Structure 1
């Protein structure tokens, strides 16, 4: 049986970046089970999420990306 081909992480990077704040919100609310496994794998490959003590958490890089995405909302003068 052949597994379906997935696009490389690099091709999904923009979509994952846009979805990262929602993913971070799910993690904060302890709803990691609601995150698609394929997305988790890709976030870990990008070093935006990491496994820690059996759970997932944002890496420093992932946290910085979320901050970059929220910055225009906080300061519309940018």
Structure 2
């Protein structure tokens, strides 16, 4: 699914879930992330597959930083 077809509410839900996903990736627990979430975040360029591993992109990292308390 391309980003243009994701509803605003779905994007907001994904944005809210991204820090948790990032934490799971950091702890090497990507298997606990729902496949639909992975697919949608990859389509938004927040996650990418690199050498068989799932990781945050620069965009995903920046979105996580935006959500941190100031």
User: TM-score higher than 0.5 here?
Assistant: yes
Question: For this pair of structures, how many residues does the alignment match?
Answer: 65
List gaps (5 residues or longer) in structure 1: 1-7
Q: TM-score, normalised by structure 2?
A: 0.88
Partner of 2:31: helix, strand, or coil?
helix
Of structures 1 and 2, the one with the larger relative CO (CA 8 A, separation 6+) is 2
Q: CA RMSD in A?
A: 0.9
Partner of 1:50: helix, strand, or coil?
strand
List gaps (5 residues or longer) in structure 2: none
How far, CA to CA, are the matches of 2:51 and 2:16 in structure 1? 27
Bigger Rg, structure 1 or 2: 1
In the TM superposition, structure 1's runs of 4+ consecutive aligned residues that sit over 2 Å from their partners are 8-11
